[in-house]
Chain A
Amino acid sequence: MSDLCTVADFFRAWNKVIVTRPIGGSLLDAFGLFEKTSNNQVSWNSFLAEIEEILKITNAIQFDSDLDPKASQFGELPAIVSIDTLQLQLLVQAKQAKEEVIVIKKDHDQAESSKPVTLENFMQLIHSDNAANAEDVFSATSNKTMLWEISQMVTTPLASHSLSSEKVRLVTRIEPFVDICDNKHHAEAIRSASMLNSRRAATASTVTSDPQQIQAMLRGMKSDPLCVETAICMDHQIHFLPLLHRSTDPQLGDCSYLDTCHKQDSCRYLHYQQLLPRRFKEIVGSKEIAEHNRNCDNAAKSAFFTKGEVAGASNVPELPAQWINCDVRFLDFSILGKFAAIVADPSWAINMRTPNKVSKDPDLMSLPIHLLQDEGVIFLWVTGRTTDVGRQVLSHWGYKPANEISWIKTNQLIRTICTGRTGHWLNHSKEHLQVGIKGNPKWLTKGSDQQTLVSSTRQTSRKPDELYGLIERLVGKKSRKLEIFGKDYNTRPGWLTIGDELKGSHIVERDVADRYVQYLGKA
């Protein structure tokens, strides 16, 4: 193809991109794009010359002022206003017809060898991953420096965020963490070793196998590198051993409930046993972790970055767990004092299966939550139907919506829950927690956690404990925190739990105890 045709064809193909933003008809940017997209090496001057040539033949390219190549050297270029693709197409066709026969023949050969346009080829083209990368967005136009700077400005994390994340890291204990092996071959090797083991012991019905025996067996099979590899992996990572009972039919796949299944002995689906790594104690009790955990309290006392920190908070001891058994609807909230954070998990009226007394929406609305916080955050568990009610309740109590946390529910194998008709239209793999904020609490340590919690399910309606860690990082371990509608398993240091399913009451704070006694005396 001649240069003229290449340039004309370029303007025809890219007409829309050239006249719209960000190129906005700029000739210089159009040339940048041309250089990127065209195989032909055409210089800037000949590019301009070809455009002039096109303009002599047709008026396909319209400028906002006259194109003067001499002025172009001083940056005074007119902008393209519109491009007539039909004229350009005719021009290219006419020019190509005049070109030598050999070229046509060559084109003809190419056409024959090229793939027919089928849906399959088309979809392949669409799904190819060579769509322009981010760099190209910037390099295609002359504004690239500016675009890059803006992008940097928008995406660079704030220093305050990095600093508070680092502070949170220093004052947060490292909880035991063990990786889970995700290698299918390892799982297979462990499974066959376990079957062999149980056959040898002639106790095919034993529910649990000794991981040590399995590991020893695998290590013994020196001829099979996979077995040895698996044995080594069992030192460091968690594995899952399929449990085979007489009733188990492995073809059926995993049980939907796994370790929470009520009839594991008769269930025909597969269940698993968690195999902790042999070096479990070394992993979770390593020197570095112990060192870090020892230094946590000191780090809180001697932090250089104290933004959002309550003065003197580090010298206050953490309160032990407290709880009050009461009907939340009738308790006088003014006796409880003020709290930095509140968690509420009402059993909304939709949960027909849960045996708990349900809280009706108006009942919930009328709770005097405003007595509990002057400023602070609230976390309200909601279900599908109650998302809107939850928002209304929060705004009625005087909170602004601040965020929404999703708890992704996983099973024993750390896979998301995807079976069992858990929702009305779609299955539910997560639950929502609405976060409301009241006043302008400056003492929050913001942005240290993500919006998403991943935690395995336990008893019905029991929520993940990871939430407590998240809240303690947000409002501080030593500030007062309240849980409404809590159960026995919700009680924990630093928290006051109230609800009608708690066993007895236990108050440590003298003033709260006094007021509670007074309140009981009155009632």
Chain B
Amino acid sequence: MSSNHSYSQQLGSATAAVKSTSGGSTHAYHGAARTKNRDNAPPEAGHRNHGRRGASGAFAVPGQRQNSGARPDFKKPQETKRVEFRNDYSNRYVHSQIPPTSYIRNRQEPVSGYPKLQRLFKLKEQQVAEHACKPYGCRVEPDRIVDTLNSWISKDGLQFDVIMIGALTDNQFIFPLLSQLPLDRLCPRVGFVFIWASTQKIAQLSQLLANSTSNKNVCSWFRKFRRSEELIFVPLDKNSPFYPGDQDVPEEALLENTQWHCWMCITGTVRRSTDSHLIHCNVNTDLALENETTLNSAVPHHLYQVAENFSTATRRLHIIPSRTGVDHPVRPRPGWVILSPDVMLNNFDPDAYKRELAGLGTNVPTTEEIELLRPKSPQ
């Protein structure tokens, strides 16, 4: 049926030796008979595979002496360092339907085992909370979002340093909106944009944006931003409100979708060694896992935290350009203005916001202890 199998019929037993072009060393073609010895096999090749299947003594089993492998081609590792037993969580998934990510042991406390980092996370959270404006929501229909932003820019002179776009819902036609958003005017000289999308959308997005560099009419703002990191969020299991489900035609999907992607884009010049008043690098990782404390919402709280821990800016805006439904309530968050047709709160007033920010300042100040604890790049 497929040409991929035609060659495998011709299993040869020929042995041949030829001179190689590179280096002139001799290559040996082992016939089928010789392969069993694997005398020319690389030291570790296939070791794990066969060793594990035989449940052999490569691993320290209490109460049992190590014996050599059950398979004839098993070879003891050359190194004396003990080989620890490893579970194959993908294989486990095939047999038990328990997702591999549910075996991750720091799901509940991401930095457990690292007391310094734990302390830093706590301090950052307190510091961010102390310098946060009250939660603002602005309830706007999807087709009025661009007009609203334009009016904020031209009438009220509002600017935001951190802008998050999108939510963990596939119900968003994000590209038409992205191309219309006046992000270059909404962001000051240095700014950070987080864009959320599904695996399919993120692939489409990168293709469209790649084209936008040639087509000047499309997405003019994006040329000023550069994509700097890609975050992912992985839901707990299939019952999670964040489970992305089959976004493709299910018959066509090669793999089960289990993750959401987020681009972190930066505009302007920031250096991680000198601009510590603007950014704190390497605090969070590019991976967020849902755990038992995650509430159902449009965007889980971890993801706001990544932005808050990274940028010290206090002016933060979240644009959700679509309805998210009752399963994904848009919960207001201190320190953020949330623009969405479904946000729980509708209290945004540009003047009040400007007054509040005048008191807060545009950046969260750092403390001595945070400076001491946070990961720093060599000067």
Which residues of A approach B to under 8 Å, CB–CB? 119, 122-123, 126-127, 129, 131-132, 134, 136-137, 155, 157-158, 160-161, 165, 168-169, 172-178, 180, 182, 208, 210-212, 215, 238, 251-254, 259, 270, 274-278, 280-281, 284-285, 293, 310-313, 316-317, 319-321, 325-327, 337-340, 374, 376-377, 384, 387-388, 391-392, 401-406, 408, 410, 412-419, 421-430, 432, 435, 437, 443-444, 446-456, 465-466, 469-470, 473-474, 478-480, 488-493, 502-513, 516-517, 520-521, 523
Given contacts A338-B7, A452-B99, A513-B16, 9 further A-B contacts (CB under 8 A): A285-B55, A316-B5, A376-B4, A392-B210, A404-B199, A451-B256, A488-B44, A505-B29, A510-B10
Residue of A nearest to B253 (CB): A447
Task: Tell me if B9 is interfacial: C-beta within 8 Å of chain A.
Answer: yes
Residue of A nearest to B84 (CB): A274
Residue of B nearest to A251 (CB): B115
Does A454 lie within 8 Å of B104, measured CB to CB? yes
Closest-CB distance, B68 to chain A (whole angstroms): 15
Question: What are 20 A-to-B residue pairs whose CB atoms are below 8 Å?
Answer: A126-B332, A160-B251, A175-B53, A176-B53, A180-B87, A253-B113, A253-B116, A280-B61, A325-B20, A403-B254, A403-B255, A416-B289, A425-B282, A427-B285, A429-B286, A430-B287, A488-B45, A491-B45, A510-B12, A517-B18
C-alpha gap A498/B159 in the complex (Å): 53
Question: Given the interface contacts A412-B84, A432-B230, does A137 sit within 8 Å of B327 by beta carbon?
Answer: yes
Residue of A nearest to B17 (CB): A517
Question: Given the interface contacts A392-B210, A418-B114, A517-B16, does A424 sit within 8 Å of B326 by beta carbon?
Answer: no
Does A321 lie within 8 Å of B18, measured CB to CB? no
B interface majority secondary structure:
loop
Q: Which of B35, B60, B286: most chain A Cβ within 10 A?
A: B286
Task: Tell me if B42 is interfacial: C-beta within 8 Å of chain A.
Answer: yes
Task: Tell me if B296 is interfacial: C-beta within 8 Å of chain A.
Answer: yes
B106 cross-chain contacts in A, Cβ below 8 A:
415-416, 418
Task: Determine, out of B149-157, B257-265, B353-361, the stretch whose residues face the partner at the interface.
Answer: B257-265
Does A129 lie within 8 Å of B89, measured CB to CB? no
Please provide the chain B residues from 201 to 239 with a CB less than 8 Å away from any CB of chain A in the complex: 202-203, 206-207, 210, 227-232, 234
* Contact string against A for B residues 79-99, beta-carbon threshold 8 Å, 1 for contact and 0 otherwise: 000101111111111110001
Q: Contacting A504 at CB < 8 Å: which of B27, B48, B285?
A: B27
A479 cross-chain contacts in B, Cβ below 8 A:
2, 4-5
Closest-CB distance, A17 to chain B (whole angstroms): 11
B345 cross-chain contacts in A, Cβ below 8 A:
126
Residue of A nearest to B327 (CB): A134
A208 cross-chain contacts in B, Cβ below 8 A:
82
Task: Tell me if B269 is interfacial: C-beta within 8 Å of chain A.
Answer: no
Does A510 lie within 8 Å of B254, measured CB to CB? no
Does A402 lie within 8 Å of B254, measured CB to CB? yes
C-alpha gap A427/B117 in the complex (Å): 13
B3 cross-chain contacts in A, Cβ below 8 A:
338, 374
* Contact string against A for B residues 105-126, beta-carbon threshold 8 Å, 1 for contact and 0 otherwise: 1100011111111000000000
Does B256 lie within 8 Å of A505, measured CB to CB? no
Task: Tell me if B63 is interfacial: C-beta within 8 Å of chain A.
Answer: yes
Does B62 lie within 8 Å of A337, measured CB to CB? no
Task: Tell me if B302 is interfacial: C-beta within 8 Å of chain A.
Answer: no
Residue of A nearest to B286 (CB): A426
Closest-CB distance, B25 to chain A (whole angstroms): 7
Question: Given the interface contacts A408-B234, A425-B228, does A448 sit within 8 Å of B4 by beta carbon?
Answer: no
Closest-CB distance, A467 to chain B (whole angstroms): 8
* Contact string against A for B residues 255-298, beta-carbon threshold 8 Å, 1 for contact and 0 otherwise: 11111010010100000100000010111111101000001100
Task: Tell me if B32 is interfacial: C-beta within 8 Å of chain A.
Answer: yes
Does B21 lie within 8 Å of A506, measured CB to CB? no
Does B101 lie within 8 Å of A408, measured CB to CB? yes
A401 cross-chain contacts in B, Cβ below 8 A:
203, 207
Does B255 lie within 8 Å of A405, measured CB to CB? yes
Residue of B nearest to A479 (CB): B4
Question: Given the interface contacts A160-B251, A452-B234, does A132 sit within 8 Å of B53 by beta carbon?
Answer: no
C-alpha gap A286/B13 in the complex (Å): 38
Cβ-closest 7 pairs across A and B: A510-B12, A488-B42, A415-B106, A254-B113, A454-B100, A429-B287, A429-B285
Q: Contacting B7 at CB < 8 Å: which of A384, A427, A505, A509?
A: A509
Residue of A nearest to B332 (CB): A126
Closest-CB distance, B246 to chain A (whole angstroms): 8
Does B91 lie within 8 Å of A177, measured CB to CB? yes
C-alpha gap A327/B10 in the complex (Å): 26
Does A511 lie within 8 Å of B10, measured CB to CB? yes
Does A428 lie within 8 Å of B286, measured CB to CB? yes
* Contact string against A for B residues 14-53, beta-carbon threshold 8 Å, 1 for contact and 0 otherwise: 1010111110010111111001000011111110110011
Task: Tell me if B367 is interfacial: C-beta within 8 Å of chain A.
Answer: no
Task: Tell me if B365 is interfacial: C-beta within 8 Å of chain A.
Answer: no
Does A447 lie within 8 Å of B256, measured CB to CB? yes
A391 cross-chain contacts in B, Cβ below 8 A:
203, 206-207, 210
